[in-house]
Copies of this chain bind each other. A is one copy, B any other.
Amino acid sequence: MPQSVAGPEIERLIQLLARMPGLGPRSARRAALQLIKKRDTLLGPLAEAMRIAAERIVVCSSCGNVDTSEPCTICRDGSRDASMLVVVEDVSDLWALERSGAVSARYHVLGGVLSALDGVRPEHLNIERLVERASDPAVKEIILALNATVDGQTTAHYVTDALRHLGLTITRLAHGVPVGGELDYLDEGTLSAAIRSRSAF
């Protein structure tokens, strides 16, 4: 935008910032100015952190997590329950589960879900390696922690079929009312699932 008034360096910075998720052209300009104002405390350090990340981050060949070591910190962590594998769609889901502290096991990142619409087929996902890892005699249970969307559930069914011959316990996350959630705002499907899976009080 300020093509003629600011140098090409600023323009390029704005263009690249606008490609970040959550930033549009207008907020990218605002972000660029803020960064320039905090040149020494934010712009410089952020540039360096990005350079290091770009240089060192690798995708774990075992589970698909991103880390600066190979295999990743989780795969190397011997204190985790080796009898379970938690299958997730994306690294962000892995991070979310780790924040919850709900499970201390290893993960398997599929790298997406099957989608006829987006042309995502089984060979595009990290399923082959999952079957390989699930064949380890130590593994007893596969937890399918996939999103409760149509594509997520289709993928859950496909993965279940691919693992069936191993005779493992395959589980999925419970459906129900989110903690802190109000019934009035929930869809019928969630409410039906919450009623079906009700428990003694």
Contact = CB atoms under 8 A, between A and B. Distances in A.
Interface stretch (A10-18, A117-125, A155-163, A190-198): A10-18
A166 interface: no
A172 interface: no
A165 interface: no
A36 interface: yes
Nearest to A45: B16
B50 A43 contact: yes
Task: Kindly name the residue among A31, A33, A47, A72 whose own CB sees the greatest number of chain B CB atoms within 10 A.
Answer: A47
B13 A95 contact: no
Copies of this chain, whole number: 2
A116 interface: no
A20 interface: yes
A19 interface: yes
Contacts of A19: 42
Q: Indicate the size class of the contact surface on chain A.
A: 35 or more
B30 A22 contact: yes
B6 A66 contact: yes
Interface of A: 1-2, 4-10, 12-13, 16-17, 19-23, 27, 29-36, 39-40, 42-54, 56-57, 65-69, 72-74, 90-92, 94-95, 98-99
Which 4 pairs show the lowest CB-CB distances between chains A and B?
Answer: A47-B50, A7-B68, A47-B51, A44-B54
19 contacts: A6-B66, A6-B67, A7-B57, A9-B56, A13-B49, A13-B50, A13-B52, A20-B31, A21-B31, A21-B34, A22-B27, A33-B66, A36-B57, A39-B54, A40-B54, A44-B54, A47-B53, A47-B54, A48-B51
